[in-house]
Amino acid sequence: GAVVSQHPSWVICKSGTSVKIECRSLDFQATTMFWYRQFPKQSLMLMATSNEGSKATYEQGVEKDKFLINHASLTLSTLTVTSAHPEDSSFYICSARDTLAPLPAFFGQGTRLTVV
Amino acid sequence: AQSVSQHNHHVILSEAASLELGCNYSYGGTVNLFWYVQYPGQHLQLLLKYFSGDPLVKGIKGFEAEFIKSKFSFNLRKPSVQWSDTAEYFCAVNTKAAGNKLTFGGGTRVLVKP
């Protein structure tokens, strides 16, 4: 199946710093990518929809200034957690849709962020 | 708004037992339905999907799911589980009205004892 790669797989950062997470579709073009957050023992919650060449659409309650999303090309979207705090510690997962065959979405392996 | 409910949070069973995981959704229109699996330490993988047609869908690894429109359900089944089926299973729904976004259920952790 199609491959979506997320980098890094895990990251530890200090409070107040920013962290960038990359999501790449390796063998297909993705006009749309999605960013999810998964708290321990909970389901995936959609944070935002990332559209290539335009502004991301954020879900209600998600701070767009804190979670900056850039989708500069058809194969790359980035999520930057700015001024991270311990409560931002979580598992972040991206998914991407093949532009030519939009369903189903394929998921990256996730990034575990720990803010200390 | 669409929502997805998975009734069982944890399921423990022995190898060769049959598995059925419940999934109900709330949306009155046309839906696309999915089951994803997340093995320990791995990313989400698609098990099977339903778009239209035969309501009994067969997926990978011996899994199947049945779409029952009148019950708004899409339950996942496997006749005989293996230890390697230990994972977390997520039901998800997608509708055109919601902008093709996937909404996930809470997940069910399945532990298969050898």
Query: A3 pLDDT band (50/70/90 cuts)?
Result: confident
Least confident range from A21-25, A70-74, B15-19: namely A70-74
Average pLDDT, chain B: 92
The pLDDT assigned to A75 comes to: 93
Q: Which of B42, B45, B104 sits opposite A44 (nearest CB)?
A: B104
B99 CB near a chain A CB, below 8 Å? yes
**Residue A4: closest CA among chain B residues belongs to which residue?**
B43
A43 CB near a chain B CB, below 8 Å? yes
| pLDDT, tens digit, 9 for 90 and up, residues A24-72 | 999 888 888 999 998 877 788 999 998 888 899 999 999 999 999 999 8
| pLDDT, tens digit, 9 for 90 and up, residues B33-69 | 999 999 987 888 999 999 999 999 999 999 999 999 9
Positive or negative torsion for Cα A62, A68, A72, A74: negative
Selection from B87, B103, B95, B83 nearest residue B14 by Cα = B83
Distances (CA, A) of B79 to A24, A89, A108, B85, B93: 36, 38, 29, 12, 24
Q: Are B40 and B87 in contact (CB under 8 A)?
A: yes
**CA–CA separation, B43 vs B25, rounded Å?**
24
In Å, how far is A15's CA from the nearest CA of chain B? 26
Among B74, B102, B108, the residue to mutate for chain A (most A Cβ within 10 A)? B102
Among A43, A91, A94, the residue to mutate for chain B (most B Cβ within 10 A)? A43
**CA–CA separation, A76 vs A70, rounded Å?**
8
